[in-house]
Amino acid sequence: MNPALLAAAAVAVAGGVICLSARDARLALAGLAATLLVAPLIADPLPAPTVVAARVVSAALAVYLPWIVVRDPSAATRGSLLGWRVETLVAAAAFVIGFGTAGLGAAPLGPAEAQDAGFALVALSVGPIVFGRDIFRLGSGAVLLVAGTLLVRVGVAGTPSALEQLVTGVLFIALGGIVAFLAANAVAAGAAGGAILDGGADEPADRPTQARGR
């Protein structure tokens, strides 16, 4: 294993854990930024410096757009109901599974660390994607899911071409823009903390709060 790649993978996964566990939206966004900034570096061979620069710029833009909406110090997300320790354990387990299944049955063209981090991010994203009630958390989960999937792709199929990296960068900017757009609309619609998927939209209003799992 390459220690530098392993460290980068650990930072990416830690960013994912912080993103989904933190209740302070700004801290969550910092975690997402760490993941998106480090993800393009988990590759062997490393992409060209210009490509890395493009990915860094796209990551910064992808995070800056939601930042516009949640930079208010009072902005809070639902955070993880399981707590950061459980999220860390889930990520660690997926990381180990990714290491054990490097290449998914055939010789990988990329580093095992990319697949490890990808598995961990995908595992982390399952919670907000399936049970997400907070718009910001669900959006972050979608970003982590795509980031994790692309890391698995790097792990099994090797370093992407520059064109693919550029399109990936645009994709992350679009994802960040949509998360910001949805979060802004959730706030405008009067959803406290962006908890728009809290069942209120689909369930009868007279249903007890407790019955909806709150």
Partner 1 sequence: MLPFLAVAFGGAAATLLARRWPVASAAVGSVALIAALVAAAAIVPGQELAVAGGAVVGSAYGRLFLLLGAGTGLILVVAARIALGSDWPANLPGALLASLGAAGLALSVRDATTAVAATIAGGLAGVIVTLAGPPSPRDVAVAARELRAIAVAGSLVILATAWVARPLGILAQEPAVFGLAYLAVAVGVAMRFGAIPFHLWAARVADAAPEIALPVLMAWGPAALAVVAIAWVDGAIVPVLPVAGTLPVERAAVVVVGVASLVLGAVAAWVQDDLEHVVGYAIVQDAGIVVLSLAALDPSVWAPSRAWLLNLLVARTAFAAWTMAVHARFGTRRVPELTGWARRSPVLALALLAIAVASVGWPGLAAFEARASIIRLATDEPIRGLILAGVFLPLLYYGRLAAVGLGRQSAAIAGAASDRPRRPAEPARRRIPSRPLGSPWAWRTWRSWDAATESVRWLRPLRPVPRVVDTALDLNRGLVVGLLVLVLAGASVGVAAGGFGGPAAAAEPAPQLPGGGESSASPRGFAGP
* Interaction site with partner 1 (CB under 8 A): 51, 104-109, 122, 129, 132, 135, 138-139, 142, 145-146, 148-150, 152-153, 156-158, 160-168, 170-171, 174-175, 177-179, 181-182, 185-186, 188-191, 196-197, 200-202
Shortest separation between residue 106's beta carbon and partner 1, angstroms: 4
Q: Is 24 helix (H, G, I), strand (E, B) or coil?
A: strand
Nearer to partner 1, 29 or 138 (CB): 138
CA distance 59 to 67: 12
Choose between 7 and 188: whose C-beta lies nearer to partner 1: 188
Residue 48 CB, nearest distance to partner 1 (Å)?
Answer: 9
**Residue 137 Cβ, how far from partner 1 at the closest point, in Å?**
10
Torsions phi, psi for 104 (to 5 deg): 50, 50
Q: Considering the complex, what minimum distance in angstroms separates the CB of residue 154 from partner 1?
A: 8
Closest to 132 in 3D by CA, of 182, 199, 208, 203: 199
The Cα–Cα gap between 141 and 143 comes to 5
SS3 152: helix
